[in-house]
Each structure stands twice: as structure tokens, then as C-alpha cells.
């Protein structure tokens, strides 16, 4: 019998024994260990667990994950629609409405009704390890997420908060363009402004700007923004100021969100939202940006659909076909893992 009892995994920790679930962010400043899932559209799920123990992600069990066939994936925006939307964003930039906007598409494929994101997590840990990998399995609350996120949304240690926005992607460092560096700096300014709303004046700094990080199959430009929360500011205020993450919206954020809403044809859900944990007893927590993220949607009839999002930041210097290729690059390895076509020994798809 398939086990779909509630659990959460983050790194080498697993949380079990579900105690309660709430959508109130103030709970994260109370007590206990919480798993947190925030959809891009704003739905927040905070789940408190009784037991947290050290446990490495188990090795994949043959047959435990039955993913979709490689040819079963469909995209909310096909190539023509996506490149047309890139051109529309460039029109908005030319009109002075926005500097940058993140354009995303959602890929979907049917999976067996008993599909378990924890089994998919084991494959991701082996084939696409990531610094902010995590799993939240709450089928009774409509949350089944497996993320291989490389991006830090928010880290909190007491009053110190930090964000690590990613902007700029290539197969190698030589692929990174001037446009990628400009994109990163734009979003760093945005994140500084977001965090600055709830931090003491003068405490917001940028310790790292446009550092090159290597990840499986690609490289990213990553910056670090850090500040100290002002008195009276906690998780509700921090999430209210910073959500949704700046790197997956655009600048100015309000204009980018309006443009995104008009051009994208499917809700992002946990993709581009926040996924992670909060230890309220210790005043610590880590939320990842929900990129490189799979989630399962279940219908009332019992059918299950696996979804995965991919996108790119659009600026005036964007080439529509190049942006489409970036979305393909970000998705290809992970879709192969989920569909069982990724060759572990050679690191190639078969």
C-alpha cells in the first residue's frame, strides 16, 4: 500500500507527525517546526510537525516513482506563444512601463493517481542535487511539492535576514551576456528595496554581487542581499514586503506582475513561490524560491497531473528565441529525471 502520510524533507532532515496546518504567517513566530509552501498567487500553507530527525534522502527505489512519458508533457505557452509574449514585454519596456519581467510557462503531464513526490525527491537528490532541495507532502491539504531549487528566497537567523536572487543563466560562464549582468543588478535593487521596508535603516547591504555559481548542467549569476529586521517585524511583515520573490517577477514589481498576469495562461502555483521551513523555537528559517520545482495536482475524480514551471527574465536586450532556449535549458534535465530518461552513469539523456 502506498504511503502518502504527511511529511516534509529539507536537506538531511525529515519532519513527521503532522500537528496542525494554517494559512496565518504569524504562526511562524510562535513555536515548533513548520514546513512552508507559498503559491505565487498568494496561497500560504504552514504545517507544524511533531518530530524532526536527521535522515539523508533515501536512495531511489526502483519502480517507486512512475513518471510521465517524455512525450506526454504539454506547455501552457508553446514556442510561438512564448516568443510573441517576449516581444510584447519588449513593447512594455519601450513604453517605459517596466525594466524587466519574468515570463514563465507551466508544463504538465499525467501521472498515476498514486504518484508520490517523496519518491521523485529521491531521484532528484541523486540526479540533480540542489542547495535548497525540499519536499512537502500534504495530500489532504492540496500540497505535494518536490523542489530542486538552487535559489534562496529568504534566510532568517534571529533578526538577520538574507536573500540570494538569481538572474542570468547559461550552459557555461562564457555564455553569460551583458544582459544577464544588467538583469541581476536590476533585481538586486528590487530586493534591497523589498527587504529595506522591514529592516533598520542603514543595515541593508550587498555582500556579493553577480557571483558565478555552477549547478548541474548550467551556471547562474547569484547575488546576496542582507539586512537586520527592525523591532516589531516578524515573518508576516517580512513575507508581506518580499513576496512574491523579485527574481521571478520583475522591476518595478507592481508593473511586472500586471504584465505577467496578462501574458501567462496558467497559474504558477508553488512554482516561483516560496518553499521551505521555519524553526520558530530557534528563530531560524530558510525559504527557497520555488524554481526547478515539481508539484502534483489531483482532480476530484482522482486523476493526478504532474506540473513543472520554467521561465526567463526578459529585458530590452532579450532575443525571443534565446529566451525560449533558456526555458528549455532550465527544464530539460529535470524533465528527463522525472520521465526516467536521464542516464545517471553518463550524465546524458537516453
Residues of the chain with pLDDT > 90, as a percent, come to 88
- Per-residue pLDDT of 212-266, as tens digits, reads 999 888 899 999 999 999 999 999 999 999 999 999 999 999 999 999 999 999 9
37 pLDDT higher than 80: yes
pLDDT band at 350 (very low <50, low <70, confident <90, very high): very low
Cα separation of 76 and 107, whole Å? Answer: 6
2 pLDDT higher than 80: no
349 pLDDT higher than 60: no
Mean pLDDT computed over 295-318: 92
User: Which domains, ranges and CATH numbers included, belong to the chain?
Assistant: 7-341 (3.60.120.10)
Q: Which residues are catalytic?
A: 151, 167
Cα separation of 145 and 172, whole Å? Answer: 29
**Number of Cβ atoms within 10 Å of the Cβ of 347:** 11
- What pLDDT was estimated at residue 25? 98
Q: Are 159 and 172 in contact (CB under 8 A)?
A: no
Total-model pTM: 0.94
- Per-residue pLDDT of 60-78, as tens digits, reads 999 999 999 999 999 999 9
Mean pLDDT computed over 276-303: 94
| Arithmetic mean of pLDDT over the chain | 94
Q: Which three cell numbers stand for residue 10?
A: 529539507
348 pLDDT higher than 60: no
- What pLDDT was estimated at residue 267? 97
pLDDT band at 177 (very low <50, low <70, confident <90, very high): confident
Q: Which three cell numbers stand for residue 349?
A: 539523456
193 pLDDT higher than 90: yes
Amino acid at each position: 500500500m502506498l504511503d502518502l502520510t504527511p511529511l516534509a524533507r529539507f536537506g538531511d532532515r525529515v519532519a513527521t507527525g503532522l500537528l496542525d496546518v494554517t494559512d496565518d504567517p504569524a504562526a511562524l513566530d510562535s513555536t515548533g517546526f513548520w514546513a512552508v509552501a507559498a503559491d505565487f498567487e498568494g496561497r500560504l500553507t504552514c504545517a507544524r510537525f511533531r518530530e524532526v530527525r536527521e535522515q539523508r534522502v533515501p536512495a531511489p527505489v526502483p519502480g517507486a516513482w512512475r513518471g510521465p512519458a517524455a512525450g506526454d508533457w504539454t506547455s501552457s505557452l508553446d514556442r510561438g506563444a512564448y516568443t510573441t509574449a517576449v516581444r510584447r514585454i519588449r513593447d512594455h519596456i519601450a513604453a517605459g512601463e517596466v525594466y524587466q519581467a519574468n515570463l514563465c510557462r507551466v508544463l504538465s503531464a499525467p501521472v498515476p493517481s498514486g504518484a508520490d513526490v517523496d519518491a521523485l525527491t529521491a531521484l532528484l537528490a541523486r540526479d540533480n542535487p540542489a542547495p535548497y532541495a525540499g519536499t512537502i507532502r500534504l495530500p489532504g491539504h492540496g500540497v505535494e511539492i518536490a523542489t530542486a531549487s538552487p535559489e534562496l528566497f529568504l534566510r532568517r537567523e534571529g533578526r538577520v535576514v538574507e536573500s540570494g536572487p538569481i538572474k542570468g543563466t547559461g550552459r557555461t560562464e562564457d555564455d553569460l551576456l551583458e544582459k544577464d549582468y544588467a538583469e541581476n543588478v536590476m533585481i538586486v535593487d528590487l530586493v534591497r528595496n523589498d527587504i529595506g521596508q522591514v529592516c533598520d535603516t542603514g543595515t541593508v547591504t550587498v555582500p556579493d554581487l553577480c557571483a558565478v555559481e555552477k549547478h548541474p548542467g548550467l551556471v547562474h549569476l547569484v547575488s546576496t542581499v542582507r539586512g537586520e529586521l527592525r523591532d516589531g517585524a516578524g515573518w508576516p511583515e517580512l513575507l508581506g514586503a518580499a513576496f512574491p520573490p523579485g527574481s521571478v517577477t520583475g522591476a518595478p514589481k507592481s508593473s511586472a506582475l500586471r504584465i505577467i498576469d496578462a501574458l501567462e495562461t496558467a497559474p504558477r502555483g508553488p512554482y516561483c513561490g516560496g518553499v521551505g521551513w521555519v524553526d520558530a523555537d530557534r528563530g531560524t528559517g530558510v525559504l527557497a524560491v520555488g524554481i526547478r520545482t515539481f508539484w502534483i495536482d489531483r482532480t476530484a475524480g482522482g486523476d493526478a497531473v504532474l506540473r513543472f514551471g520554467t521561465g526567463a527574465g526578459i529585458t530590452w536586450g532579450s532575443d525571443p528565441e534565446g529566451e525560449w532556449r533558456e526555458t528549455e535549458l532550465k527544464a530539460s534535465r529535470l524533465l528527463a529525471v522525472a520521465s526516467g530518461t536521464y542516464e545517471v552513469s553518463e550524465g546524458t539523456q537516453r
